[in-house]
Chains A and B, each alone.
Chain A
Amino acid sequence: MKKMKKSVVVDHLCRVEGQGGISVSIEGRRVTRVEMNIFEGTRFLEALVVGRLYNEVPPILSRICAICSAVHTVTSLMAVEDAFDTRISPQTKLLRELMIQGGNIESHALHLFCLAIPDFLGYSGAFTLAGDHPQEVKTGLRLKKLGNTVQEMVGGRAVHPVNAVLGGFGTVPTRETLLTLKEELMKGLEEALAATEFIAGLEIPNFCQSPTVYAALDSSGKEYSLFGDRITFSSGASKEIKSYKEVCNETVVPHSHAKHSRFEGKPFMVGALARVMINGHKLDFEARKTKEKFGLDSPSDNILHNNTAQAVELIYSIERSIRIIDELVEREIRDEKPVKIRPKGAQGTAAVEAPRGTLYHSYTFDNQGRVTIADVVTPTAQNLANIEKDFRASAERLIEEGEDSLQAKLEMVARAYDPCISCSVHVVRLR
């Protein structure tokens, strides 16, 4: 008998935003190929900033990604300041964190309600989902707007923030602005908590279960945080942020414009699920209860739980934003001017937890403060090798499945990683 051949090709999955795809081939009872292809055009942004002055770098590199632009901006600012030994004020630190929490709220709300939930309920997207579940889509849009409002009020713009600059902020938001924001966050928290009931009711399939190493930033601090001073692995290993290259260990692969990462020979996962797995015990308040409600207090080896982990973080980020505002108001807002930057020949590195996982920026400057080397490692790039591992595990388990159903399920796996917006939904083509 002729060997049965099956192949699945999915267009439009990407590097950080844009075009990439999935190719999986099955021959007989064997999965012969799993690839996450990245077709997004390469803009060479890291090479383009070489020769630019230090203060031009954050706004240019923010353009790597629209939906993660707040965290790209802050990570970039921190890397420049790390190089020049700039000490920023506690107020600036809190405001930057608030911006990032806003980005996390917006990104998770968009992914969860508009991009991922339609999968679980069998819709082609939020627009069709809205026909039957208008309430859930409206909740998603309101929470997404809340995250954008936070980013706008602090960062000056929801996409590519303008107000966060080296050493501080162009204009510090007023006490009144922050208190208005707090009211909106309180309302948003109620709404997000109500939505967790709906999310808890979604059935999470387990066709993609596969042992996974998780990685996230961690610190000796007691609170769950999107910042940290070392990279911790669920395998027990730990690395300094400065040694990120040993972790990301990027290699170029022929089928992808994005480089692949492995640590100790194994792929690993970064993102909301990794953070909850590694630092979940530090969660408090309603976020902690939500984590327990979703059963995320025990180890998970199912990437589809990244969706529920995002729901936990949605609650966390709203609660944390409220606490940041309380702290800012309690300390009394000061109209601080940005700290003066003193450029020198030096190297600086920073890492922050972006919505999709750990983001690294690292630069080397000459004596005038011009970039000689720039390196950015995005979470999606780190996840690619792990996505391929999950494709293989899923395809092996679903070997009997028809091509349509196999495609839909592989897309669900890819989408669970939330691999940056433009890649999250795509056209499917059979080859």
Chain B
Amino acid sequence: MAKLKIGIFGMTGCAGEQIVILNCEDQLMDILKILDIRSFHTAMSKNDEVCDLDIAFVEGAVLQPEEEVLLKEIRERSVLLIALGTCAVWGGVAAMKNEVSREKLRDQIYGAAGRMFKSIPAQPLCSFVKVDFSISGCPIEKEEFLQAVASLVHGDIPVLPKYAVCTECKTNENICLLLEKGELCLGPITVAGCSARCLSYGIPCSGCRGPVEEANIASEVDILKEKGFTLKDIHNRLRTFSAPAEVLQTYLAKR
């Protein structure tokens, strides 16, 4: 069987997904045996910038016009394009204040001298190209990536959970931080796959994986208001990792 030709690419972000891939220390050498890595700037020189690819894994959000061009080029040359991580899937932390003008933010950080820098509001990959499959997380979970690779090598589309972090947290038999401790926990509306990592340390869910399908945002907000949180703080928290998500935009538009 011919090895799948793949590329691992980064738009703007913290490079967390590429680091997680490199953190598969025990599997890395085996991965090289089954995948033909043609492009992975973080790990190697002599990348092939033009060849056709079976799969492109893309992390990061699109923040610059040049990235939109690059992303479209990657899409053209790839059979499958997979969004890796919350920035690529939902826009990530850079998208939390997309309603504020980039010029204003730029002046705040760089002053007048920064005027030559181009920047557009952070957008997920799906705003520009067709995304075949998404693995969310800030960063992605190593296991989800490895399982996805295993499925893809066998010609299958990976299966990822469609339920909430809350479900995983219950399975772990943790004390409910939202209902019992009154903490600002987004577990009920966040997509699972992390085995309720934070909650198992006694830390409330910050929603870093983005919203679960059909998340009931209004009901979550009602509970949080009942627990004494201000609407401002609840909205801030909702907007932290996945503000461009449709389900959140729909909810916030009604406000």
Q: Which A residues are closer than 8 A to B by beta carbons?
A: 12, 16-19, 39-48, 50-53, 56, 59-60, 63-67, 69, 110, 114-115, 124-128, 130, 138, 141-142, 144-145, 148, 156-160, 162-163, 165, 169-171, 251-252, 254, 257, 259, 420-422, 424-428
Q: A48-B94, A64-B14, A124-B46 are in contact. Are A142 and B117 (CB under 8 A)?
A: no
How many residues on chain B are close to A (CB under 8 Å)?
64
Chain A residue nearest in CB terms to B116: A254
> Is the CB of B202 closer than 8 A to any CB of chain A?
yes
- The reply to whether B201 and A125 contact each other, CB–CB distance below 8 Å, is no
- The reply to whether A162 and B198 contact each other, CB–CB distance below 8 Å, is yes
Which of B102-110, B126-134, B156-164 is the contact stretch? B102-110
Q: A12-B41, A127-B44 are in contact. Are A145 and B26 (CB under 8 A)?
A: yes
> Is the CB of B249 closer than 8 A to any CB of chain A?
no
What is the minimal beta-carbon distance from A360 to any residue of chain B, in angstroms? 15
- The reply to whether A43 and B63 contact each other, CB–CB distance below 8 Å, is yes
What is the minimal beta-carbon distance from A232 to any residue of chain B, in angstroms? 29
Q: A41-B67, A257-B117 are in contact. Are A156 and B14 (CB under 8 A)?
A: no
Ordered by A's residue number, 10 sampled pairs between the chains whose C-beta atoms are within 8 Å are A65-B14, A67-B15, A126-B44, A130-B29, A145-B23, A156-B203, A170-B203, A259-B110, A422-B15, A422-B18
- The reply to whether B201 and A160 contact each other, CB–CB distance below 8 Å, is no
- The reply to whether A141 and B44 contact each other, CB–CB distance below 8 Å, is no
- The reply to whether A425 and B43 contact each other, CB–CB distance below 8 Å, is yes
With a cutoff of 8 Å between Cβ atoms, the chain A residues found around residue B16 in the complex are: 63, 66, 69, 159-160
- Give Cα A157–Cα B237 distance, bound, in whole angstroms: 21
- The reply to whether A18 and B15 contact each other, CB–CB distance below 8 Å, is yes
> Is the CB of B167 closer than 8 A to any CB of chain A?
no
> Is the CB of B223 closer than 8 A to any CB of chain A?
no
Chain A residue nearest in CB terms to B66: A39
Q: A42-B106, A156-B198, A162-B201 are in contact. List 9 more A-B contacts (CB 8 A).
A: A39-B64, A41-B12, A42-B117, A44-B102, A45-B93, A46-B108, A141-B29, A162-B198, A252-B114
> Is the CB of B78 closer than 8 A to any CB of chain A?
no
- Give Cα A125–Cα B42 distance, bound, in whole angstroms: 10
Which of A66, A145, A160, A165: most chain B CB closer than 10 A?
Answer: A66
Chain B residue nearest in CB terms to A65: B14
- Give Cα A286–Cα B51 distance, bound, in whole angstroms: 48
